[in-house]
Structure 1
Amino acid sequence: MRYGTAGRLAQALALLGAAGTLTGCGLSGGNTGQVCADTKKAFQQYVSQVRTVSANDPAQWKQATDRFAGRVDVLARQAEDEKLKNALRTEATRLRGAAAGVGTGDAAQLNAVMTDAPDRIGAACD
């Protein structure tokens, strides 16, 4: 695994809560607030899980990332707001792509996803 992946994941999680990125959701009604809150929780759970995985075990990183992508897909299906639904679908697809790379020890794509996701999902939650 490339160096610094766990640290970048922690930074991405911090960004999810920073500056209200996923807070104050649900202003547009529907279930947006709940889906955004559940998405933030899913990110937190993923980061907690991968913090326990050895950087030398790319198979476990891939497995955790694939599961996380599945969770984001479920959240996309639950979302009533089309903007949020599309943002979550996009992130799930990006996560699946990143899982393939991280499974071989290359975390570059995962780092990119985790860096961009808070802004991309946060914009849909506003």
Structure 2
Amino acid sequence: MRDRVVRALAGGVVLLGASGLLGGCGALGGGNSAQVCTDTRKAFQQYITQVRSVSAAEPGQWRQATEQLAGRLDGLAGKAGDGKLEKALKAEADRLRAAAAAVGTGDASQLDAVMRDTPARIGKACD
């Protein structure tokens, strides 16, 4: 489980950068949205670093880390100066919470899907 999810997570963060999460941020008209996009990418990078050290045999720690990431995205959504970005971050936080419940029981399939789709959803909001 761990290796598959960590690969998906790492690939997702690379795609977050490539999809415009950082590069397109300046195009947003909503005040601090560029900083929110940058902080979102950092949150995902920190999450990857955190879960790389967690054993697949400890799904409770995966759940906790995933729930923490969801909370960070909610906080960033509240700081977003752009409605589209705020909505995307809140939706992603909800997806992560649902995935956290499943990964807490050892099922990483939902988390894998969330991480695979995140770059397109968040990157689009940051364009």
2:98 and 2:54 mapped to 1: Cα distance?
A: 19
Listed as ranges, the matches of 1:21-100 within 5 Å are 21-29=21-29, 30-100=31-101
Structure with more helix by fraction: 2
For the residue of structure 2 that corresponds to 1:53, the secondary structure is coil
Conservation of the 8 A alpha-carbon contact between 2:21 and 2:37 = no
1:93 and 1:19 mapped to 2: Cα distance?
A: 21
Between the aligned residues of both structures, percent identity stands at 62
2:78 and 2:19 mapped to 1: Cα distance?
A: 27
1:35 and 1:113 mapped to 2: Cα distance?
A: 20
Distance 1:22 1:79, change over 3 A: same
Deviation at 1:27, TM superposition (A): 1.4
TM-score, normalised to structure 1's length? 0.94
**Any stretches of 5+ residues in structure 2 without a counterpart?**
none
Cα RMSD (Å):
1.3
Distance 1:124 1:64, change over 3 A: same
Conservation of the 8 A alpha-carbon contact between 1:2 and 1:106 = no
2:34 and 2:26 mapped to 1: Cα distance?
A: 4
Q: Does 1:17 align with 2:17?
A: yes
Q: Which moved more, 1:39-48 or 1:12-21?
A: 12-21
Conservation of the 8 A alpha-carbon contact between 2:21 and 2:41 = no
For the residue of structure 1 that corresponds to 2:25, the secondary structure is coil
